[in-house]
Amino acid sequence: MRLLHTSDWHLGRSFHRESLLDAQAAFIDHLIATIRSERVDVVLVSGDLYDRALPPVDAVRLFSEALRRIRDTGAKAVLISGNHDSMVRLSYATELIDASGVYLRSDPATVGTPVILNDEHGPVACYGIPYLEPELVRHEWKLTKRSHTAALNHAMDLVRADLATQPAGTRSVVLSHAFVRGGEPSDSERDIRVGGAADVPASVFDGVDYVALGHLHGRQRVAENVYYSGSPLAYSFSEEHQVKGSWLVELDAAGASEPVCVEAPVPRPIARLRGRIDDLLTEERWQRYTEHWLQITLTDPLRPAFPMDRLRERFPYALHLEFAPEGEVAQRETTWTQRTAERSEADLALDFVDWARGSPATPQERHLIDHALADLRARENAG
């Protein structure tokens, strides 16, 4: 059985206000072509199908078209919801959709119930574990701790209990949307930390032939047979060096093979540039970035006039501009904790007013900030 592992489509997402819908549609074209050329039997999509719980109409239309086209290839599909998706909305009509060979799992109640598929070596049990918000499952599952580790441990206990009832030789695949320890994050994932517990150990998934993870946007291996496929497109400038794509996995009688990367098309490359504006506008070495989406950091001692207008004459796809004057290197190299260790909450709020507006807070504004902070402290103590 040939599996194609992908995740984190984030349909409907933009990139610094640039629509990515055409690029996402191009990825779906690539996905369908890969299914056909590589004779894929099952497509695994490990969550964050949409970018938000109420996706735009065009994103819903693209998702519907993607599922129809996967079905038309003859391949099956197993999908789970992620932390960006609406668990309830994606549960709609799943029993009817199952009949088409598209299995969408977003209800925690279905965690221990596999999708059973078959090949010449026998059955394959595919278990979908959607993103588990600890507070939502804690009471239903009678968990003693409010953490991702507790939730996933219980989910995998359900998986292993069911797997023990399957015929001998049944191979197993788990889809999960979580932050697994050892994974390398980027700037574009939503923080899912709860009570200080941000991640779960890879050992949670012991005993499974292949674990198809979603959530982190960089393609990577975190343990034996435990992989993130990453997102098909870059969703932050921190991903400029990542190679996007899917994992192609062969599942035979002995288990899963070493996955092979199938690279996805790049709609427009991204890069981060740094330097003085005159250098960026004149030096030949920057010419190769004229068609990139760019984050540019200017290091001029004094902020140049109309910098973005000038930069876009050479770099029409410059999207984000930052300033880091060369004289402030020492301050930039200290951490936020170090820079704020001796400063009060009121001082930090006043610094923000000064930075955002370009002038210090008035005495009346200082009084309002002090009063607001005192009120918050009183509410916290009362709670």
> What are the tens digits of pLDDT across the range 61-86?
999 999 999 999 999 999 999 999 99
Under the banding of pLDDT at 50, 70 and 90, the label for residue 330 is very low
By mean pLDDT, which of 117-121, 277-281, 300-304 is the weakest? Answer: 300-304
Q: At what angle do helices 21-37 and 57-73 cross, to 10 degrees?
A: 10
H helices of the chain, where? 21-37, 57-73, 87-90, 94-98, 134-138, 148-163, 277-282, 307-314, 329-333, 336-340, 345-357, 363-382
Which pLDDT belongs to residue 379? Answer: 76
The CA–CA distances, whole Å, from 333 to 76, 276, 321 equal 50, 19, 20
338 has a pLDDT exceeding 70: no
Provide the token pair at 255: 């288990």
Residues β-bridged to residue 42: 3, 76
The CA–CA distances, whole Å, from 114 to 9, 76, 105 equal 23, 14, 10
Mean pLDDT score of the chain: 91
Provide the token pair at 3: 């599996």
Which pLDDT belongs to residue 352? Answer: 84
Residue 60 identity:
V
Which pLDDT belongs to residue 146? Answer: 86
Which pLDDT belongs to residue 195? Answer: 45
Tens digits of residue pLDDT in 256-283: 999 999 999 999 999 999 999 999 999 9
Check residues 379 and 113 and name the one with the higher pLDDT. 113
DSSP symbol at 197 = B
Question: Residue 114: CB partners within 8 Å, gap ≥ 6?
Answer: 125, 126, 127, 159, 162, 163, 166, 172
The string over 124-160, giving b where at least 16 C-beta atoms fall within 10 Å of a residue's C-beta and e elsewhere, is: bbbbbbbbbebeebbeebebeeebbbbbbbbbbebbb
Helix/strand/coil for 383: coil
Which pLDDT belongs to residue 382? Answer: 65
Placement of tokens 């191979």 in the chain = 171
Task: Give CA–CA dist 262/248, Å, rounded.
Answer: 7
Task: Give CA–CA dist 258/42, Å, rounded.
Answer: 17
Question: Residue 150: CB partners within 8 Å, gap ≥ 6?
Answer: 134, 138, 143, 144
Under the banding of pLDDT at 50, 70 and 90, the label for residue 190 is confident
358 has a pLDDT exceeding 70: no
Question: Residue 311: CB partners within 8 Å, gap ≥ 6?
Answer: 277, 280, 281, 296, 318, 321
Strands of the sheet containing 293-298, edge to edge, are 270-275, 293-298, 318-323
Which pLDDT belongs to residue 328? Answer: 59
Check residues 205 and 342 and name the one with the higher pLDDT. 205
Which pLDDT belongs to residue 381? Answer: 62
Which pLDDT belongs to residue 196? Answer: 40
Under the banding of pLDDT at 50, 70 and 90, the label for residue 374 is confident
Provide the token pair at 148: 């991702």
Check residues 185 and 157 and name the one with the higher pLDDT. 157
Query: What backbone phi and psi angles, to 5 degrees, belong to 53?
Result: -65, -30
Which pLDDT belongs to residue 346? Answer: 85
Residue 88 identity:
V
Under the banding of pLDDT at 50, 70 and 90, the label for residue 186 is confident
Helix/strand/coil for 177: strand
370 has a pLDDT exceeding 80: yes
Which pLDDT belongs to residue 356? Answer: 67
377 has a pLDDT exceeding 80: no
Helix (H) or strand (E) holding 87, with range, is: helix 87-90
Indicate the domain borders of the chain: 2-263, 269-333, 339-383
Query: Distance between alpha carbon 118 and the CA centroid of its chain, in Å?
Result: 31
The CA–CA distances, whole Å, from 354 to 303, 341, 350, 372 equal 17, 19, 6, 18
CATH class, range 2-263: alpha beta
Q: Kindly state the percentage of the chain with pLDDT values over 70.
A: 92
249 has a pLDDT exceeding 70: yes
Return the ∠ at Cα 67 (arms to 62 and 68), rounded to 5°: 95
